[in-house]
Amino acid sequence: MTVRGPVEPGGLGSTLMHEHLFLDLRKNHLPHPKRVHLPGRSEPIITSEDFPATELARWEAKLGVGNLIDAKNVAPLSDNYILADEQAAIEEVMEFRERGGGAIVEVTSIGLKRDPEALRRVSEATGLHIVMGTGYYQRVFHPEDMDERTVEDLEGVIVRDVTAGVGDTGIRAGIIGEVGVNGGPITANEEKSVRAAARASRVTGAAISLHRGGVGDERRRTLDLIEEEGADLGRVILGHSDEIAEDMDLMMELLGRGPYVQFDLIGREQAITSIDAIGPEVGIGLSVTARDALAVARLIEAGYEERILLSQDVCWKSHLKRYGGFGYSYILERFLPHLRNIGVSESHIEKIMATNPSRALAFAEPAG
């Protein structure tokens, strides 16, 4: 199911499984964040402490050559965390199309300022298939009344997005995700959101694409929750598996239960993308991209080539080519040639880039 309606899964071609064309992540990066616990709310509200005027000016500045390196490394700059330029989106995704790309799964979920109409316009302008997401992103992006919402409430919204479309746009979601499970620990509202996604997957046959699925082995618990709701773990994508790319034992154990593992932070050259995301170790190690390449080769060797998915998770302006980033075409331009260099065969690459995505995206027979 694409933003322009249903297509034959075999016609998607090379597919990026976790990208963003339009979103607003500013809530995640507020300077001098302060947690405020309001009575009657289980999750704290994140606001900014009072902070110096020069830092405020930096936070509010436009992203450009002069502040790009600071924005990428240390200084939060609000303009970096919003993607809203339609013409830029068209030009950037054309880089992927011109190199043979066929489809992009845009997993901007509820709370991230998802934009169905803009996605459809980009798809029309570029000829790319675009699959839109639904479901609830994490914590600070939850609706204000998330505590009061039941699993049934959340499930109802997701099922409607998939079967009838978002609002009155008639544009239907083709995947449930990214479903925000930050973990550490998994909160009550995250658990509700996962259970709702699982029920909606069972009812609609759409796949579930998880953001993380928790920290470390919390991923086991997330799979348990989905299983408890009667959904098929074969329809679950463990996103951001880059974070466990070096924990082969955990990956094998999880894979044994049926899901896809998705390496979707490809292109990031930093050794550590963020201390929160990767773990407490700080130092010069292999880049995320290099670890992913090794993990892909190992998983193929172990016979899991049917369960691997790839993407780049473009979500900041500094990820775009026009701001010096890797863009939407990094996998086609750089990563696949690297996989070939380390011995991954053309038929395995075809499976990972086209066959696996089309299988994951084809709706299963609903279980009712």
Nearer Cβ to Zn ion (1/16): 16
Binding mask 198-237 for Zn ion (x = CB under 5 A): ----------------------------------------
| Cis before 185 (ω within 30) | yes
Least Å from the CB of residue 167 to Zn ion: 22
Segment interacting with Zn ion, rule: CB under 5 A, options 180-188, 194-202, 305-313, 360-368: 305-313
Segment interacting with Zn ion, rule: CB under 5 A, options 44-52, 137-145, 229-237, 308-316: 308-316
Nearer Cβ to Zn ion (327/351): 327
Tell me which DSSP letter residue 106 carries: E
Instruction: Based on the shown chain and the rule CB under 5 A, indicate whether residue 43 belongs to the binding site for Zn ion.
Output: no
Nearer Cβ to Zn ion (25/90): 25
Tell me which DSSP letter residue 330 carries: H
* Type of residue found at 198: A
| Cis before 178 (ω within 30) | yes
Segment interacting with Zn ion, rule: CB under 5 A, options 78-86, 243-251, 306-314, 348-356: 306-314
State which of positions 309-328 bind Zn ion (CB under 5 A): 313
User: Token pair 């990563």 is at which residue?
Assistant: 335
Q: Where are the alpha helices (DSSP H) in the chain?
A: 53-60, 68-73, 86-98, 116-126, 151-163, 188-204, 218-228, 248-255, 275-278, 288-301, 330, 336-341, 346-350, 356-361
User: Which residue of the chain is nearest Zn ion when measured via CB?
Assistant: 313
Least Å from the CB of residue 300 to Zn ion: 25
Nearer Cβ to Zn ion (202/241): 241
Q: Report CA 317 to chain centroid distance, whole Å.
A: 16
Alpha-carbon distance values, 311 to 19, 276, 334 (Å): 7, 20, 13
Q: Cβ neighbours of residue 115 under 8 Å, at least 6 residues apart?
A: 22, 108
Least Å from the CB of residue 180 to Zn ion: 9
Least Å from the CB of residue 132 to Zn ion: 13
How many residues sit in the footprint of Zn ion (CB under 5 A)?
1
Nearer Cβ to Zn ion (232/313): 313
Least Å from the CB of residue 39 to Zn ion: 32
Least Å from the CB of residue 306 to Zn ion: 23
Structure tokens at 261: 């593992």
Least Å from the CB of residue 362 to Zn ion: 22
Question: Which value, to the nearest 10 degrees, does the dihedral of the CA atoms of residues 182, 237, 161, 199 take?
Answer: -80
Residue 134's beta-bridge partner residues?
Answer: 176
Nearer Cβ to Zn ion (108/123): 108
User: What CA–CA distance (Å, rounded) separates 271 from 286?
Assistant: 5
Nearer Cβ to Zn ion (162/179): 179
Least Å from the CB of residue 168 to Zn ion: 26
* Type of residue found at 333: E
Whether the Cβ atoms of residue 129 and residue 79 lie closer than 8 Å to each other: no
User: What CA–CA distance (Å, rounded) separates 321 from 41?
Assistant: 41
Nearer Cβ to Zn ion (190/313): 313
User: What CA–CA distance (Å, rounded) separates 304 from 298?
Assistant: 9
Nearer Cβ to Zn ion (177/229): 177
Least Å from the CB of residue 107 to Zn ion: 6
Instruction: Based on the shown chain and the rule CB under 5 A, indicate whether residue 24 belongs to the binding site for Zn ion.
Output: no
Binding site for Zn ion (CB under 5 A): 313
